[in-house]
Every structure is written in structure tokens, then in C-alpha cells.
């Protein structure tokens, strides 16, 4: 029987996203929330979620959306556009092969600044996840893991794509742990976003065949949200479809005996 963590990503993007996450948690469909502190609604998110003692509250580090929060004036051109917004996730993955020591230092400083915004609210991040899964890149994973140790987080999202439960990965394998960490990692990860094309029953059957900890990721949104970024790459409509899918999946998993 799998042990499930159901995480809402992109919290802090807007207050409506935060509120929808809160409602889903109170209804029993979400057990963890991952907050982006480089968006203005992060303060609302942290204030709202601190009232939920059973919510596993963590940080969703970003290098591919929004703007940096660090005061370092040496904005690195490989990472930022002319308006000082982060470049796309495709750009980050391609350019990561050529990052200099200076770029790596800038990234560590920026991610540390994002984490400090969390702790300055009087909260300790219980977990770390990364926007667009950038800690699958070895250099960035080392930085994330170092910060996870420094901030004494409980767990970090699995980074190995082979540990992903999706329609394209027919034979997932458990997240490998080749080093001794001060934190844990879920054994598997699956995103509702990548499973919308398959029947809920099939999705639940795949989850039920696993042993260990499985993190299920969802991207909540409110049906109407005037503050939702118009140029955001993943809009409200598919996020609403994710919520509907998640509710059906959780209800079915509970019928099968999974404790959520």
C-alpha cells in the first residue's frame, strides 16, 4: 500500500490560487503546499497556510518564472531577460551545460534569498520542490540539496525522471539515493497534469501497485482569477481539469483503502 503526499504547486502565484489550495486541503484532497516566494502573493500564502497545522508547508524554488528576489545587482545574463525576469525553462536546461562558477554562485545566492523570505515569515520550510523540476539538472540539484541541509527541511522532491509515474514511463523505478542525505525523498512522483489523458481508474491502479512514498502533484486555480498572469504558460482551464481529476482519483484511492 503506497503512502501518499498530495502537493499543490505554484502557491503564492495569486491569492485565488492560495485560497483554492486552502479549500482543497480543508476538504481532504491536499496534504502539502509548495509556495513560490518570488511572487507577491507569497505573503498571503504563508499567512493563510500557517493556520493549517496538518498541511506540509514547503517552498517551490523558481529560476524559470517571475523575477529574482536577491539584492545582488550582478544579474546574470544567462539566467535573466532584459527586463530582469527569469528566462524560460527550456533556456535554463540548455544553458545549464555551460554555467560558469559565477553563474552557479548567483543561483545559490538567489535560491537562498527565496528561502530566507520563507523563514523571515517565522516558518520553517518542511520540504523543497523546484519549478519546472530544475533540480533534475545535476549542478542545480547539488545546490538545492546543500540548501535543504542548511535549512533542515524534512524532504526534497524526487529528481529522477525515471521515478515518474506517467503514460510515457511504463516501468518506473524507485528514486535512487546514492548519497547520505539529512532529508528524505519520496520514492516516486506523478503529476496530475501528465495523467489527464488516462482514465482515473487506470491512474489509481498504477499508484496502488507501488510501495513506498508517492508524491502526487496538482496545480490548483480558481475558476475566475483576475490576478492570474495573462502570459502564464499553464492557464486556469487545465488547472481546473486537474482539480476535477484529483478529486475523483482521491475518492477512488480512499475506496481502495489508501489513507490520505
Q: Determine the Cα–Cα distance for residues 203 and 256; give it in Å rounded to an integer.
A: 13
Q: Determine the Cα–Cα distance for residues 229 and 235; give it in Å rounded to an integer.
A: 8
- pLDDT, position 74: 61
Percentage of the residues of the chain whose pLDDT score is greater than 70: 98
Q: Determine the Cα–Cα distance for residues 99 and 29; give it in Å rounded to an integer.
A: 40
pLDDT in tens, 121-153: 999 999 999 999 999 999 999 999 999 999 999
Written as nine digits, the cell of 49 is: 497556510
pLDDT in tens, 12-38: 999 999 999 999 999 999 999 999 999
pLDDT in tens, 222-258: 999 999 998 888 999 999 999 999 999 999 999 999 9
DSSP letters, 97-153, are GG--HHHHHHHHHHHHHHHHHHHTTT---SEEEEGGGGGGSHHHHHHHHHHHHHTT-
- pLDDT, position 95: 85
Say how many Å lie between the first and final Cα of the chain, rounded: 12
Assessment of whether the complete model's pTM goes beyond 0.85: yes
Amino acid at each position: 500500500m503506497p503512502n501518499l503526499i498530495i502537493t499543490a504547486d505554484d502557491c503564492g502565484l495569486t491569492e485565488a490560487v492560495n485560497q483554492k489550495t486552502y479549500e482543497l486541503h480543508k476538504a481532504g484532497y491536499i496534504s502539502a503546499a509548495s509556495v513560490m516566494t518570488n511572487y507577491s502573493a507569497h505573503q498571503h500564502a504563508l499567512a493563510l497556510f500557517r493556520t493549517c497545522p496538518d498541511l506540509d508547508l514547503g517552498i517551490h524554488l523558481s529560476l524559470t518564472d517571475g523575477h529574482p528576489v536577491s539584492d545582488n545587482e550582478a544579474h546574470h545574463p544567462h539566467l535573466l531577460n532584459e527586463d530582469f525576469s527569469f528566462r524560460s525553462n527550456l533556456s535554463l536546461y540548455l544553458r545549464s551545460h555551460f554555467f560558469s562558477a559565477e553563474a552557479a554562485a548567483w543561483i545559490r545566492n538567489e535560491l537562498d534569498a527565496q528561502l530566507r523570505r520563507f523563514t523571515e515569515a517565522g516558518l520553517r520550510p518542511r520540504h523543497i520542490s523546484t519549478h519546472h523540476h530544475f533540480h533534475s539538472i545535476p549542478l542545480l540539484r547539488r545546490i538545492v540539496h546543500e540548501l535543504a541541509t542548511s535549512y533542515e527541511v524534512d524532504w526534497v522532491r524526487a529528481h529522477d525522471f525515471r521515478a515518474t509515474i506517467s503514460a510515457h514511463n511504463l516501468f518506473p523505478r524507485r528514486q535512487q539515493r546514492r548519497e547520505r542525505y539529512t532529508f528524505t525523498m519520496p520514492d516516486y512522483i506523478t503529476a496530475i497534469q501528465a495523467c489527464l489523458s488516462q482514465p482515473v481508474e487506470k491512474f489509481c491502479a498504477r499508484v496502488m501497485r507501488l510501495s513506498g512514498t508517492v508524491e502526487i502533484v496538482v496545480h490548483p486555480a480558481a475558476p475566475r482569477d483576475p490576478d492570474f498572469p495573462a502570459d502564464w504558460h499553464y492557464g486556469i482551464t487545465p488547472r481546473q481539469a486537474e482539480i476535477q481529476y484529483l478529486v475523483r482519483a482521491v475518492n477512488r484511492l480512499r475506496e481502495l483503502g489508501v489513507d490520505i
